[in-house]
Amino acid sequence: MTDLTRRRDPNRTEETWLIYCGDVYGGKIGLAVGNPGATERWNWHCGFYPGSNPGEQTYGSEDSFDEARAAFERAWAAFLSRRSPADFQAWRDQQEWTARKYAMWERGEKLPSQRPNSIMRCPCGERFDSHRLEHTRIHIPHITEHQREIRR
Residue (of 118, 120, 114) closest to 146 by Cα position: 120
Contact 130, 137 (CB under 8 A): no
Per-residue confidence band for 35, with pLDDT thresholds at 50, 70 and 90: low
The domain ranges of the chain are 4-103, 116-151
Q: What angle do CA 25, 2, 9 make, to 5 degrees?
A: 30
Distance CA 79, CA 91 (A): 14
Confidence tier at 16 by pLDDT (50, 70, 90) = very high
Mean pLDDT of 119-129: 92
Instruction: Give the single-character DSSP code of 112.
Output: G
Q: Give the pLDDT score at 112.
A: 79
Q: pLDDT for 38-80, tens place per residue?
A: 678 999 999 999 999 989 999 999 999 999 999 999 999 999 9
Distances (CA, A) of 53 to 1, 16, 20, 87, 91: 20, 25, 19, 10, 12
Least confident range of 22-26, 28-32, 46-50, 118-122: 118-122
Per-residue confidence band for 33, with pLDDT thresholds at 50, 70 and 90: confident
| pLDDT of 113 | 80
Displacement of CA 87 from its chain's centroid (Å): 12
Q: Average pLDDT for residues 91-119, to the nearest whole number?
A: 91
pLDDT tens figures, 78-100: 999 999 999 999 999 999 999 99
Q: Which of 1-15, 64-78, 129-143 has the highest mean pLDDT?
A: 64-78
The alpha carbon of 44 is separated from its chain's Cα centroid by a whole number of angstroms, namely 20
> 64-68, 118-122, 135-139: which has the highest mean pLDDT?
64-68
Compute CA 131 distance to the chain's CA centroid, rounded to the nearest angstrom.
36
pLDDT at 126: 93
